Structure 1
């Protein structure tokens, strides 16, 4: 699986996912820690990644995008 970890997620989580064979990156690793959440979501969607976050506003972002399917 492919993951994109937001700022509130520990680097240790990303490291664990990588050790378990997943492709995981942290938003800071990409130099994108100042991106608004909508742009973070767009990046994850374009790269077919799962967003790991504690931010509650991602649910609102998803609900405004009709083309996105949540499974």
Structure 2
């Protein structure tokens, strides 16, 4: 799996994913920190990447677009420290790999996961 990290995702999470063998880029690494949300989704789709974000707007944009990709993992945590995001991300990758490959929005909270298949 390949990932694109939005601005709210720590570079430490990116480095952790890279160390685990994943292909991952952070928007800031490519000088794209001001890229509009719709263009971030397009970039993720064209590059076959799963978007990692804390921004709820991406779920809305995907829903209204009718798109089937890219998959998006939205972290809605009380504490968004990278260690907690990494811990929850391990659970998502272990439990929902098929959903991510097929196209889904996965909302990750402190207590649970909500999976919505695309298109919505």
User: Which bin holds the TM-score, normalised by the shorter protein?
Assistant: over 0.9
Larger strand fraction of residues: 2
TM-score of the superposition, structure 1-length normalised?
A: 0.93
Partner of 1:30: 30
Structure with more of its chain in helix, by fraction: 2
CA offset digits 1:24-64 (Å, max 9, x no partner): 00000011100111100110011110000000000011102
| 4+ residue segments displaced more than 4 Å | none
Q: Which has the larger radius of gyration?
A: 2
1:1-71 to 2 correspondences below 5 Å? 1-68=1-68, 69-70=103-104, 71=117
Structure 2 unaligned residues grouped into runs of 5+: 69-102, 105-116
In the superposition, the TM-score normalised over structure 2's length comes to 0.57
Provide the alpha-carbon RMSD of the alignment.
1.0
Structure-2 separation of matches of 1:64 and 1:21: 33
User: How far apart are 1:65 and its partner, in Å?
Assistant: 1.8
Equivalent position SS for 2:30: coil
The number of residue pairs the alignment matches comes to 71
